[in-house]
Amino acid sequence: MKKILDSLYMISGIGEAAVFVIDKQDGYCLIDTGIFKRTNQLISILESNGHPVNKLRTIYLTHCHCDHIGGTAELVKSSGAQVAAHSGDIPFILQEKVISGPYHDMMIQEQRVMKQFDCVVSRVDITCHDEENIQILGGLKVINVPGHTPGSMALYQPDKKIMFFGDVIRNHPKRGLVVGIPERFNVDTEQVKVDAARLLDYPIEYALFSHGDPIIGNASAVIQKTIHLH
């Protein structure tokens, strides 16, 4: 568990996508929960870093892909935590619908496997909306970025200038910063570029990606050197 700032930590290695931990007064929240079947590992990392599972209050899901939501059902069972997601992805998270676009067939497969392993999220308690302010980490703004999935959400903390990019931009170990890649995972890759431009309009000190190492300090300048969208 890597400390990013006071009250903010990152856990990598629970599958492909990062899990972020945010402390609050009476416990803590998670952003995403890693891949299914690895939840025991996630819980033991949390517990050995002073975050017992019974203090987990809310799970914010950036979007419906299984490497981001996989541990949710199990964590809810052991903690009673609430689940929050953007309205656009809730039907996919609950497996009421299958996403359209290039990812459709893979999503059918993903949903089947999650069902088989009893990892389907059974309810979403909190519906998030674009531009809404979540009262954690001193205020986190929801930004709907619909190119990756219809209800994908990025989150932005304006005082400390922290951006949680979700899957809009990745920091690939070999290729560096990339927008909307791999394309087969997006419902609309052109829209992902629009989404990325919207996110990069914010001043960013700390750039946190679901895939890849974070950029700590002066992130706007670093990203704008590599990525040209305008």
Residue ranges in contact with Zn ion by CB under 5 A: 17, 65, 167, 210
CB of 55 to Zn ion, least distance (A): 26
Helix crossing, 219-226 with 189-200: angle to 10°? 140
Where would I find the beta strands (DSSP E) of 81-175?
82-86, 126-128, 133-134, 140-144, 153-157, 162-164, 169-172
Q: Please say whether the dihedral angle defined by the alpha carbons of residues 131, 132, 133 and 136, taken in this order, is positive or negative.
A: negative
51 vs 170, which CB is nearer to Zn ion? 170
Find the shortest distance in angstroms from Cβ 22 to Zn ion.
19
Minimal distance in Å, beta carbon 148 to Zn ion? 6
In the complex, the smallest distance separating the C-beta of residue 13 from Zn ion, rounded to whole angstroms, is 14
To Zn ion, the closest distance from the beta carbon of 52 in angstroms equals 27
Q: How far is the CB of 72 from Zn ion (least distance, A)?
A: 14
Q: Which is nearer to Zn ion, 53 or 128 (CB)?
A: 128
* Cβ closest to Zn ion, residue 53 vs residue 185: 185
Cis amide bond preceding 182, omega within 30: yes
Integer-rounded Cα Rg, in Å, for the chain is: 16
DSSP structure string for 22-91: EEETTEEEEE---STT-HHHHHHHHHHTT--GGGEEEEEES-S-HHHHTTHHHHHHHH--EEEEEGGGHH
**62 or 79, CB closer to Zn ion?**
62
**Dihedral pair phi/psi, residue 183, rounded to 5°:** -65, -30
Shortest distance, position 134 Cβ to Zn ion, whole Å: 20
Instruction: Identify which of residues 174 and 230 has a Cβ nearer to Zn ion in the complex.
Output: 174
Q: Is the Cβ–Cβ distance between 71 and 129 less than 8 Å?
A: no
By C-beta, is 31 or 53 nearer to Zn ion?
31
Which residues touch 9 (CB under 8 Å, ≥6 apart)? 1, 2, 3, 20, 21, 22, 49
Which is closer to Zn ion, CB of 19 or CB of 53? 19
Find the residue with minimal CB distance to Zn ion: 65
